[in-house]
Amino acid sequence: MVLAVTETIQDVHNDFALSLEMAKEGGQKVVGCLCSYSPTELILAAGAIPVGLCGSTQEPITKAEEILSPDQCPKVKATYGRAVAGTCPIFPLADCVIAETTCDGRKKMYELLEREVPMSIMDLPQKPETPAALNHWIEEVRQTKSFLEQQLGVTITDDDLRSAIVMGNKRRKLITDLYYCRIHNPGPINGLEFINTMSKLQYYTDFDQHIATLEKFYSELQQLIEEKHYAHSADQPRILWTGLGNSLGCSKVLELVEECGGVVVCQEGCGGLTRSEDQIVLGENEDPIVAIAKRYLRVTCACMTPNSQRFDDLERLCREFKIDGVIDLAWQFCQPFEIESYRVKELVKDKLGLPFLHVVTDYSQSDTEQLRIRVEGFMERIATRKKYADRRL
C-alpha cells in the first residue's frame, strides 16, 4: 500500500481517470467536489460518482497566474489551473461540480471556473451556531439537490437519500477507524505513508469495492498491531498536524518531521480525522435533507466564526493521541487559517503546554531547507520538554 510522494498525485490521477472513463462509458455520471462541505450523499443518491477536484500540485499554478493574481493561496490557483491547463485527466470527466463559498478567493475564482463546467455554488453561512445559518444551509442543500437532478437527468427520492446516508456513514466510520489505528504507540504505520495511502484511497468508482478496500487496509493495520510489527518506536515524538493539508505542500512538511525523528499520528483539519468523525443522524420521521444539512454545517473550517468546535476537537485529540507537539499548517495568503492560528497557539502552548510550530508555505519545494531548520528546532523543543518531564518523574 506504500506510495512515494510523487505517486500520490499525478500517477494516482492517471490510473483513476482510466477507471472513471470506463464507468462513464457504462452510463454513470461524475460530480466534482471542491470542499469538505460538499454533501456527497446527494451525489450518491443521484447514482453518480463523487470526485475531489481541488488542486494539490505546483504545475497548474503557472497557467492559473496568467489570469489570477499571484497573491492568491496555492489551493485556489492550483484548482483553477487544473481546470484550464488541460493537465488534469479527471476534471474533464466531471459532468458538473459542487462548490461552496468558504473564502473570498475561492468564491471569486468560481465565477471563472463555472465557465468551464456547470456548477452549483452553495452559499455557505459562516456563523454556524445561529438558527438562521441552519435554515439557510438547508435551502442551499435543497437547491443543490435540484441542480443535480437537472444536470444528471435523474429524480432523487427520500429513499435514495436515506440509502445514501447509510453509505456515507459506513464510509466515514471506516475512515475514522483507520485514523484511530494510529492512536497505538508504537504504531503500525508512519504518518507520511498513511496520508499517501489515504490520498490514493479517496478515489473510487465502485462504492462497494471502495468499502472493501478500506476494510482490507484496516484489517492489515490491525494485524500489524496484533503481531507487534511497528513502523516506529514508542519513544518517537508524536505529532498532531492541524490546519490545511492533502497536497505536496503538506507532504514536504510531514516528510521533514519524520526525517527529523518524529511521527505524525493525527491529522485535524482539511482531509483529516475531524472530517470523518461526524455521522449523519437521521430521525425516524426527519427530512433527510435536514439531517444532511445539519451534519455538513458542523465542518470546522477557519472560514466559520466563531469556530469553537475546532478548538474542542484539537484539545480532545491532543489528549487522546498523547501528542508531544503540534504543527499548524497554512497556505500563503490564506487569511482565515493564518489569523485563527493565533488562537490555536494559545490553546496548544498556553493551555496544553505543548510545543507549537506554525508553518506558512505553498506547493513548491523552494522553502524545504528553511523549513527543515524550523522543524529541527521544533523537535529539539519537544526533546527538551520530554527530558525535563522524565526528570520530574
Domains 5-164 and 232-392 share a fold: yes
Sequence-separated (6 or more) residues with CB below 8 Å from residue 185? 234, 238, 265, 322
Calculate ∠ Cα 338-78-105, nearest 5°: 50
pTM of the model: 0.94
d(C-alpha 129, C-alpha 111), whole Å: 28
Specify whether the CB–CB gap between 357 and 325 falls below 8 A: yes
Q: Which residue has the cell 489515504?
A: 198
Domain 5-164 fold: Rossmann fold (3.40.50)
279 dihedral zone (left: phi>0; alpha: psi -120 to 50; beta): beta
Name residue 52's beta-bridge partners.
33
Least Cα distance to 59 among 115, 4, 116, 10 occurs for 10
3-state secondary structure of 364: coil
Give the start-to-end residue ranges of the domains of the chain.
Answer: 5-164, 232-392
User: Which set of grid coordinates corresponds to residue 50?
Assistant: 463523487
Predicted confidence at residue 13, as pLDDT, reads: 61
State the pLDDT at residue 4.
Answer: 38
List, for residues 166-216, the tens digit of each pLDDT value.
Answer: 999 999 999 999 999 999 999 999 999 998 888 888 899 999 999 999 999
- Rounded Cα–Cα distance for residues 245 and 159 (Å): 35
- Select from 2.60.40.3140, 3.40.630.10, 3.40.50.11900, 3.40.50.1860 the CATH code of 232-392: 3.40.50.11900
Q: How far is CA 91 from CA 51, 144, 323, 391, in A?
A: 9, 20, 38, 56
pLDDT at 78: 92
**DSSP labels, 211-264:** HHHHHHHHHHHHHHHHTT--SS-TTSPEEEEEES-SSHHHHHHHHHHHHTT-EE
pLDDT tens-place values along the chain, 393 residues long = 443 333 444 556 668 899 999 999 999 999 999 999 999 999 999 999 999 998 888 889 999 999 999 999 999 999 999 899 987 889 999 999 999 999 999 999 999 999 999 999 999 999 999 989 999 999 999 999 999 999 999 999 999 999 999 999 999 999 999 999 999 999 999 999 998 888 888 899 999 999 999 999 999 999 999 999 999 999 999 999 999 876 655 788 999 999 999 999 999 988 899 999 999 999 999 999 999 999 999 999 999 999 999 999 999 999 999 999 999 999 999 999 999 999 999 999 999 999 999 999 998 889 999 999 999 999 999 999 988 876 665
In contact, 105 and 72? CB cutoff 8 Å: yes
Helices (H) and strands (E) in the chain, counts: 14, 8
